[in-house]
Amino acid sequence: MVRAWLLHRPADVAGQPLVLAESPEPRPGPGQVRLRIEACGVCRTDLHTVEGDLDLPVLPIVPGHQVVGVVDAVGAGVEGVRRGERRGVYWLYQACGRCGPCRRGEENLCERPEFTGLHRNGGYAEAIVAPAAFTVPIPDTFSAVEAAPLLCAGVIGYRSLRLSRLRRGERLALFGFGASAHLVIQVARYWGCDVVVYTRSPAHQRLARTLGATWAGPAPLGPGASGAEPVAPSQPGGPPEADRAIIFAPAGELVPAALRAVRPGGTVAINAIHMTDIPSFPYRLIYGERTLLSVANVTRRDAEEFMRLAAEIPVRTEVRVYPFSEANLALRDLKSGAVGGAAVLAVAQETQSRKG
């Protein structure tokens, strides 16, 4: 038997909607593996799942899509994954492999995707089954609790970096400085890039400077936008013009601000599932062959490349660890903003010390 946190009906996390249940060990089907889970990250998307802000296609469901565990059973026809290997399961549980986007190699845009913890049971549990081909190796550099948050914030952040076309030595502007951005800055610094960070929060400004930002301050917002005093790029007190920008905060008024912050030929990538309406802006902000694009989901390539790169750097994650029994508390703390760093459920004792 394995224990798992089940969501039967979405509700405010104050009411402890997750219920611990025991069920028979899940068996891996053809092409699947089973992981004995060591840790699972607690993401803001889990909060939206549990409180019913997202449409929930399957109930009851086990949340959690940043899952680290050790393979303990292998289904028929699996190649290249062995028992005893430590692997991760992330947001893209599987893509259909048959639709137009999948055939074009754009599995992140799959028309019938399944997401971990939404369509299929996720990682707030002692075991999970997942398609072997969609699991990613976890480098030994990281403990399970350190690796878990990399599987969501890190992988999507890496995809944003790729799509922003950032090249070594260029200057990158980040708008918003949460879980994803604080991993992205470590990659950009590793690539020798200068990084400037726009965020209103003094605490995030300090963290950004600690992680190597050469400038940190509030975003330059146009007339009529609410918020802090504008600091325009290339003006006294503002940072120099950037080559690329990534927007993490879901605020549409940041789009013209980011376009204003990048040079002609530069790129603005939006890493957000939802965003408030983008205000109209003068054409000259995007003229000069600037590119504006959004980033949607991730591919296997993003997960594999980022986990390798994260170990090479190695990136640091600040984690707050909760025992498996405290899943409801972890969600409540995440909602109230009580978590500094990434919340992670420690599901089981790790099999061995990875840090040496």
Contact pick of 32, 38, 45, 205 for Zn ion (by CB under 5 A): 45
CA distance 66 to 298: 13
Look at strands 114-115 and 18-23 and give their pairing.
Answer: unpaired
**Which lies closer to Zn ion via its Cβ, residue 92 or residue 309?**
92
Q: Note whether 47 binds Zn ion by CB under 5 A.
A: no
Q: What angle do CA 155, 158, 160 make, to 5 degrees?
A: 115
Q: Is 275 in the site for Zn ion (CB under 5 A)?
A: no
Number of residues near Zn ion (by CB under 5 A): 8
Q: Which residues sit opposite 262 in a β-bridge?
A: 242
For Zn ion, which is the closer residue by CB, 45 or 205?
45
**Least distance in angstroms from the C-beta of 269 to Zn ion:** 18
Binding mask 132-171 for Zn ion (x = CB under 5 A): --------------------x-------------------
CA-based nearest residue to 351, from 89, 143, 88: 143
Adjacent-strand bridge partners of 244: 172, 267
User: By CB under 5 A, is residue 343 in contact with Zn ion?
Assistant: no
Using the rule CB under 5 A, which residue among 11, 21, 73, 96 binds Zn ion? 96
Residue indicated by tokens 């028309």: 111
Binding window for Zn ion (CB under 5 A); candidates: 104-112, 131-139, 196-204, 305-313: 104-112
Distance CA 143, CA 258 (A): 36
Residue with tokens 């929930």: 56
10 Å Cβ neighbour count for 311? 17
Judged by CB under 5 A, does residue 102 bind Zn ion? yes
Using rule CB under 5 A, residue 109 touches Zn ion: no
Residues in the site for Zn ion, rule: CB under 5 A?
43, 45, 95-96, 99, 102, 110, 152
